[in-house]
Amino acid sequence: MRIPVSKALLAVAAAGLLAGLPAARAEDAAGIPAATPSPAPLNLPPERSWRLGIALGYGSRTNPLIQSQDIPVLVDVDIAWFGKRWFFDNGDLGFTAVDNRFFTANLMARVNSDRAFFSKTNTKYVSFAYAAGGLTTTAFSPATGLPITEPVPIKPPKRDYAVEAGIEMLFGGEWGNATLHAFHDVSDTHDGYEVSADYSYRWTTGRFSISPTVSASYKSKKLSDYYWGVHADEASLVLAPYTADGGLGWEAGLRTSYYLTKNIRLAVSANYERLQWDIAQSPLVEREYVLGYFAGLGWQF
């Protein structure tokens, strides 16, 4: 892993300086004794391979699909494992191919996240009647010419999970963290790709930390159309056929933490995602955005 050379040098320099200073004794002092020099250089234990955590609280993520329910978030589990090369991070599997002082390049496998919206859907029935000149009469199916007598169901179509493989480039420094991603379907589900970039910066003052994030992603036509298009066999009187093109979406988020102890923190986060234009225009989409928020207590084990 990346070696923090500057920090190590600073620590060694600090240790050298401190070794020459007399030990401060405040036995007889009243009030605030003079500032005691740092007793030792930064000497934290090595990071553990496992990262386990849980957050309990209340949150929600809106579902942009028609006939769908928002996704409640009451528990968030964080499970990650980092080896020298291989790692697992909350469903993402990675292999570190390159790691130097400029960037880290990982080969990745993941499950597409668009599918998550299609799990919380329900069916609505619509009765059809044609109104003209103040009179209501029976509507006829344009496909068969027969009268529509039964209510027609509206339900988002089913979509499958897609396994995607790709590359991830991580950059980081005093200026913040940035990531570039490129993923392609390898499960023969949508056969499309997604390219994205994100940037975040964390300010920490005392026990409080705040981290804004911005990102943009381009979803290819195949990916967009598979999840958000209305395919010929799915079109009906209430769901017009639609082909979604590729396009650029963006999102912005804010994560804040207040550390109560080394392992427990209060956490509040919010995220706004603007769907790419062609997805937002789909008959399957009711809202052109996804808004998520969560507030709760997090434990890091």
Residues 124-183 that bind other proteins (CB under 8 A): 168, 170-174, 177, 179
Calpha distance 109→107 (Å, rounded): 7
The residue from 19, 28, 145, 150 that contacts other proteins (CB under 8 A) is: 28
Site for other proteins in 5-24 (CB under 8 A): 7, 10-11, 14, 23-24
Which window, 124-132, 135-143, 221-229, 287-295, contacts other proteins (CB under 8 A)? Answer: 287-295
> How many whole angstroms separate alpha carbon 186 and alpha carbon 193?
10
CB of 39 to other proteins, least distance (A): 3
Calculate the alpha carbon distances from 79 to 71, 82, 93, 219, 256 in Å. 20, 10, 12, 27, 20
Tell me how far apart the alpha carbons of residues 11 and 31 are, in angstroms, rounded to a whole number.
30
Tell me which of 12, 17, 21, 36 binds other proteins, using CB under 8 A.
36
- Minimum distance from CB of 291 to other proteins (Å)? 9
- Closer to other proteins at the Cβ: 124 or 207? 207
Q: Which of 212, 223, 289 is nearest to 250 (CA)?
A: 289
Q: How far is the CB of 168 from other proteins (least distance, A)?
A: 8
CA–CA dist 183, 163 (Å, integer): 10
Cross-strand pairs, 88: 81, 93
> For other proteins, which is the closer residue by CB, 16 or 37?
37
- Which CB, 157 or 176, lies closer to other proteins? 176
Q: Per CB under 8 A, does 82 bind other proteins?
A: yes
Residue 42: closest CA among 20, 82, 2, 13: 13
Task: State the amino acid at position 30 in one-letter form.
Answer: A
Residue 257 makes contact with other proteins by CB under 8 A:
yes
Q: Which of 67, 92, 161, 287 binds other proteins (CB under 8 A)?
A: 92
When asked if residue 246 is in the footprint of other proteins (CB under 8 A), the reply is: no
How many whole angstroms separate alpha carbon 108 and alpha carbon 166?
Answer: 5
The count of chain residues that interact with other proteins, using the rule CB under 8 A, is 88
Least Å distance between CB 206 and other proteins?
7
- Give the shortest CB-7-to-other proteins separation in angstroms: 6
**Alpha-carbon distance 259 to 262, whole Å?**
7
